[in-house]
Amino acid sequence: MNKLDPSLKRLLKLSRAATAPEPEQAPFGFSGRVVASAKPAQPTTLLQELQQTAWGIACASLALLVCGGLVLLNQRASATPEPEISSALNFVANNILQ
Amino acid sequence: MDLDVADCLARVRGQDQDAARSLVEYLYPMVTRIVRANLPRRAAEEELAQDIFVKMFQKLEQFRGDVPFEHWVSRIAVNHCLNAIRAQKSRPEWRMADLSEEQAAALEAATSDHTHNPDPTLLSGARELVEMLLEALSPEDRLLIRMLELEELSVDEVRQRTGWSATLIRVRAFRARRRLNKRFRTLRAEGRL
């Protein structure tokens, strides 16, 4: 095996003596940081997807109900039905229901 | 620090965060030793160690248990450091006139064998000089010289840490020593002028 120059060997020996001491412990919070960074993104399960869909549908339904309620309130606050509609209702009551 | 690695790994695979933290704390001295020995210029030691541990957790499913877990992690650390060293730009060649006073004194002491009871300045000069000499080598050769000559590991220990074959280590070490000798002799010859 090829040998190093004796002077170079001495230089390496000096360098070894200057090497910093080995770390004994991880710095405070290091392992926590590593574990937090390494935490893989959990793949969503079918159940979770169904839950998300159900929540979406529930929210949409609630929004629809609220809109419907608002429309009804608005209609009640407005004027009496149009004459054409009331005459049509009278026609139905007089001719068809008899 | 004692740790039942197999049991700990099983718990880590079961998403036990306490076990993951214990594993990091157990491996920290070994990983940091590798990082310190192969730290690229301007790189932060702790940041590099953190990246290695994150990679270890990401690859954990690939660990089959063919080698001890410590060796497997050591190979991840070695490869990560090599990639970090490759990513940095190589330094232009420096000459004797570029050496600091401490580095020149260390070179003089090593050449004239006046290395008994060296003072801390001389030691740090020697360390810097060795780093500069090692920068003339490829990242793989640098790693090998550090392990064989600075950490004084055996070929078998290097094989375990790097995953390289014993033959490759011997061939690479032979070439690396030759290059390092050449670089050192050139520098010493310049100093005599």
Write the burial class of residue B3 (CB in 10 Å: 0-12 exposed, 13-18 middle, 19+ buried).
middle
Contact check, Cβ <8 Å, B184/A19: no
Q: Which of B35, B65, B87 is the last residue of a domain?
A: B87
How many angstroms separate the CA atoms of A66 and A81, rounded?
Answer: 23
A35-50 residue pLDDT tens: 888 875 555 677 778 8
Q: Specify the pTM.
A: 0.66
- Chain B residue numbers with beta carbons less than 8 Å from the beta carbon of A24 are 29
- Asked whether residue A65 carries a pLDDT value surpassing 70, the answer given is yes
- Chain B residue numbers with beta carbons less than 8 Å from the beta carbon of A13 are 115
Q: Which of B67, B87, B107 is the last residue of a domain?
A: B87
How many angstroms separate the CA atoms of B59 and B6, rounded?
Answer: 16
Domain that holds residue B43: 5-87
> Residue with structure tokens 């099983």?
B10
* Domain harbouring B63, CATH code: 1.10.1740.10
Give every CB contact of residue B143 below 8 A, 6+ residues apart in sequence. B37, B38, B78, B81, B82, B162
- With an 8 Å Cβ cutoff, the interface of chain A facing chain B consists of 1-5, 7-20, 22-27, 30-35, 37-38, 40
In the numeric block, which tokens belong to residue A73? 């309130």
Interface mutation vs chain B, best among A14, A37, A42, most B CBs within 10 Å: A14
- Chain A residue numbers with beta carbons less than 8 Å from the beta carbon of B113 are 7, 10
Q: How far is CA B64 from the centre of its chain?
A: 26
B177 and B105 in a common domain: yes
What Rg, from alpha-carbon coordinates, does chain A have?
Answer: 41
Query: pLDDT truncated to tens, each residue of chain B (193 aa)?
Result: 678 888 999 999 888 999 999 999 999 999 998 888 877 666 688 889 999 999 999 999 899 888 899 999 999 999 999 888 888 766 556 666 678 888 888 888 888 877 777 788 888 888 888 888 888 888 889 889 989 998 889 999 999 989 999 999 999 999 999 999 998 888 888 765 3
Query: What pLDDT is attached to residue B193?
Result: 38
Contact check, Cβ <8 Å, B129/A16: no
Q: Which of B35, B58, B87 is the last residue of a domain?
A: B87
B114-130 residue pLDDT tens: 777 778 888 888 888 88
Tally of domains within chain B: 2
* Domain harbouring B151, CATH code: 1.10.10.10
Query: What pLDDT is attached to residue B36?
Result: 84
B102 and B83 in a common domain: no
Query: What pLDDT is attached to residue A82?
Result: 62
B77 and B50 in a common domain: yes
B111 and B48 in a common domain: no
B187 and B105 in a common domain: yes
B83 and B39 in a common domain: yes
A1-38 residue pLDDT tens: 568 888 898 888 888 887 666 667 888 888 888 888 88
Contact check, Cβ <8 Å, B57/A19: no
Mind telling me how many Å the CA of B51 is from chain A's nearest CA? Answer: 8
- CA nearest neighbour of B135 among B183, B174, B87, B76: B183
B185 and B102 in a common domain: yes
Mind telling me how many Å the CA of B117 is from chain A's nearest CA? Answer: 10
